[in-house]
């Protein structure tokens, strides 16, 4: 059993949810990591949304349609293929997970150096 599976199991997450979260974290790493995604989105029309995720205030929610504008189709399809789900379900999953992952990897409006998403997930369980 992998470290991430142990962590998710200790959080009481179901296999489907933990597989989806694991898949999203793996996908984030394939995109160059959470820092890379944040940098890309901050430099575009989505900077206000990303600022809310980085801040210590409430995260601005996003829709699956907005995810499809934020990321390119091939990136979303990559996640969908990896998880064996369709494009729309992958977009919905990213809409749920991206704000939370960025929030976990940041504080006081800035990304934390050397963020390890798996390590941050383990802290939730304690």
pLDDT per residue over 58-106, tens digit each? 889 999 999 999 999 999 999 999 999 999 999 999 999 999 888 888 8
pLDDT greater than 90 at residue 37 = yes
Q: CA 44 to CA 52: how far, in whole Å?
A: 15
Identify the DSSP state of 61. Answer: P
Give the domain ranges of the chain. Answer: 3-124
pLDDT greater than 50 at residue 28 = yes
Q: What confidence score (pLDDT) does residue 123 get?
A: 47
- 67-75 LR contacts (CB < 8 Å, sep 24+): 67/91, 67/92, 67/94, 67/95, 67/98, 70/41, 70/44, 70/46, 75/31
- Domain 3-124: give its CATH architecture: Orthogonal Bundle (1.10)
Token readout for 98 is: 């991206």
């Amino acid at each position: 059993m992998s470290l991430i599976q142990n962590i998710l199991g200790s959080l009481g997450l179901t296999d489907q949810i933990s597989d989806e979260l694991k898949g999203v974290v793996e996908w984030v790493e394939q995109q160059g990591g959470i820092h890379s995604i944040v940098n890309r989105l901050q430099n575009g029309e989505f900077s206000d949304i990303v600022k809310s995720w980085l801040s210590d205030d409430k995260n601005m929610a996003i829709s699956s349609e907005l995810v499809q504008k934020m990321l390119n189709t091939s990136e979303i399809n990559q996640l969908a293929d990896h998880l064996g789900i369709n494009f729309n379900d992958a977009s919905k999953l990213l809409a749920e997970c991206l704000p939370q992952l960025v929030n976990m990897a940041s504080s006081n409006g800035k990304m934390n150096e050397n963020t390890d998403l798996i390590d941050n997930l383990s802290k939730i369980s304690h």
